[in-house]
């Protein structure tokens, strides 16, 4: 009897302690509120957080650059898997309350949350990447013409392919990645109407592991290679590195995405076979927004990054790519045509 009582008492006491912590308190989480004169900007990441070698890292690079050049303080917050809209609202509210300006939500998932929070903090500028549907006087919608960059990748792929079959690998089947697919397919077909494009998606939402698991990308790429593809374009975040590995191992071309993957340390083993990369200048967009706020001319409304402003584009770090005169010429011509609006690139396949 004694022993149970003792175990139980200790247990109950500790449980009560842990639980009572949730029950009391009357402040709200703005305790560290904006008394600081130091200027700061904040980023709320998309799923995956910092270290995804892709989208979130690009946003962080923009913040890092701003910290150095503009002498501001950067704050970051990461989401938890399976969180709800309420968590996003809470995260943005906390970042805004702490006096960060601008507060940038990385990814379209932040759209409904930013719409709610922006109304509560009219003096703070909110950046929303990849979404144009929720607007407001203090919301800057940073959007990209991914389909234009992908179109150029399609042109390059069609020109570089010997078999006439090229592959597209999308991470998760969401409208954003379909833009990449649409542009790529159109670019291939416009360049070589007889070419065949194999398109594969790794996962379906809400399973976002298609952006995170290189083994999925590798398996999909192997499948496409065995069907005769000799250029593979993977728009799949971290999973894309698996596709690059598979293509390079068989001596075929791979096309990277988001940042210039030829220069990425983790992929240096395969870089000779990374033909080019479709770049999406998220870091530049983040930096520009922070700078505009510091300069007192905060961006608002749609800020579009297309081929014309180098917001999207093709990287040319691979010397082999630079030596392909025919490919380069075709890409340059397509680029000029898109900027001159002679070619309109579709946003859905």
Partner 1 sequence: MKKFDKDRVLLAVAGPALALVSAFVLTVIVLAASGVDPIDPLRVMIEQAGYEDIQILIVNTAGFYYLAALAVAIGFRMNLFNIGVDGQYRLAAMVSAVVGAAVTLPGPLHILLIVLVAMGVGAFWAGIAGILKARRGVSEVVSTIMLNAIATAVIAWLILPKNLGFQPEGSNDLTTGDIPESGWFPAVTTAGGDIYGFTFIAFALGIGYWFALNRTRFGFDLRATGASESAAQASGVDAKKMIMTSMLISGAVAGLVGMPLLLGESHTYNLSFPAGIGFTGITIALLGRNNPIGIFFAAFLIAFIDKASSGLDTAGYAKEIGTIMKGLIVVAVVISYELVRRYGIRRQQQKVGEELAAGHAIKTEKEVAA
Considering only residues 295 to 334 of the shown chain, the ones binding partner 1 according to CB under 8 A are 302
Considering only residues 192 to 211 of the shown chain, the ones binding partner 1 according to CB under 8 A are 204-207
Cβ distance to partner 1 smaller for residue 76 or 337: 76
Cβ distance to partner 1 smaller for residue 157 or 312: 312
Q: What's the alpha-carbon Rg for the chain, to the nearest Å?
A: 23
How far apart are the C-alpha atoms of 50 and 79, rounded to whole Å? 10
How far apart are the C-alpha atoms of 83 and 88, rounded to whole Å? 8
Sheet holding 274-280, edge to edge: 196-203, 165-172, 231-235, 253-258, 274-280, 312-314
Among 53, 56, 141, 161, binds partner 1 (CB under 8 A): 141
Shortest distance, position 225 Cβ to partner 1, whole Å:
26
Q: Segment near partner 1 (CB under 8 A), from 62-70, 87-95, 223-231, 247-255?
A: 87-95
Closest by CA position to 261, among listed 275, 247, 281 = 275
CB atoms within 10 A of CB 90: 16
Cβ distance to partner 1 smaller for residue 108 or 121: 108
Cβ distance to partner 1 smaller for residue 146 or 185: 146
Q: Segment near partner 1 (CB under 8 A), from 125-133, 221-229, 234-242, 290-298?
A: 125-133
Shortest distance, position 236 Cβ to partner 1, whole Å:
16
Half-sphere exposure of 22 (CA within 13 A, CB side): 4
Positive or negative, the CA dihedral 216, 217, 218, 224 is positive
Annotate 277-310 with b (16+ C-beta within 10 A) or e (fewer): bbbbbbbbbbbbbbbbbbeeebbbeebebbbbee
Window 4-33: contact mask with partner 1 (x via CB under 8 A): xx-xx-xxx-xx--xx-xx-xxxxxx-x--
Residues that bind partner 1 (CB under 8 A): 1, 4-5, 7-8, 10-12, 14-15, 18-19, 21-22, 24-29, 31, 75-78, 80-87, 90-91, 93-94, 108-109, 111-112, 130-134, 141, 143, 173-176, 204-207, 302
């Amino acid at each position: 009897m004694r022993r149970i009582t003792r175990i139980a008492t200790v247990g109950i006491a500790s449980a009560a302690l842990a639980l009572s912590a949730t029950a009391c308190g009357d402040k709200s989480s703005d305790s560290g509120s904006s008394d600081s004169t130091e200027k700061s900007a904040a980023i709320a990441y998309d799923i995956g957080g910092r270290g995804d070698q892709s989208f979130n890292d690009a946003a962080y690079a923009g913040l890092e650059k701003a910290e150095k050049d503009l002498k501001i303080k950067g704050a970051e917050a990461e989401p938890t898997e399976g969180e709800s809209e309420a968590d996003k609202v809470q995260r943005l509210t906390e970042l805004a309350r702490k006096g960060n300006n601008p507060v940038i939500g990385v990814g379209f998932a932040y759209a409904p949350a930013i719409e709610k929070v922006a109304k509560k903090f009219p003096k703070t500028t909110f950046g929303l990447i990849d979404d144009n549907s929720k607007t407001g006087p203090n919301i800057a919608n940073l959007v990209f013409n991914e389909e234009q960059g992908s179109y150029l990748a399609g042109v390059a792929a069609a020109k570089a392919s010997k078999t006439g079959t090229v592959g597209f690998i999308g991470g998760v089947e969401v409208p954003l990645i379909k833009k990449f697919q649409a542009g790529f397919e159109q670019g291939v077909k416009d360049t070589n109407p007889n070419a065949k494009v194999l398109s594969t998606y790794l996962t379906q939402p809400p399973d976002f592991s298609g952006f995170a698991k290189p083994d999925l990308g590798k398996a999909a790429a192997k499948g496409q290679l065995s069907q005769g593809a000799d250029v593979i374009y993977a728009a799949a975040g971290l999973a894309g590195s698996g596709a690059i590995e598979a293509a390079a191992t068989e001596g075929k071309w791979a096309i990277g995405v988001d940042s210039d993957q030829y220069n990425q340390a983790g992929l240096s083993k395969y870089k000779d076979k990374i033909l080019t990369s479709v770049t999406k200048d998220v870091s530049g967009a983040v930096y520009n927004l922070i700078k505009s706020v510091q300069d007192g001319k905060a961006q608002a409304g749609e800020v579009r990054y297309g081929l014309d402003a180098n917001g999207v584009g093709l990287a040319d770090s691979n010397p082999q790519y630079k030596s392909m005169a025919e490919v380069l010429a075709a890409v340059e011509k397509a680029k000029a045509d898109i900027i001159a609006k002679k070619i309109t690139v579709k946003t859905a396949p």
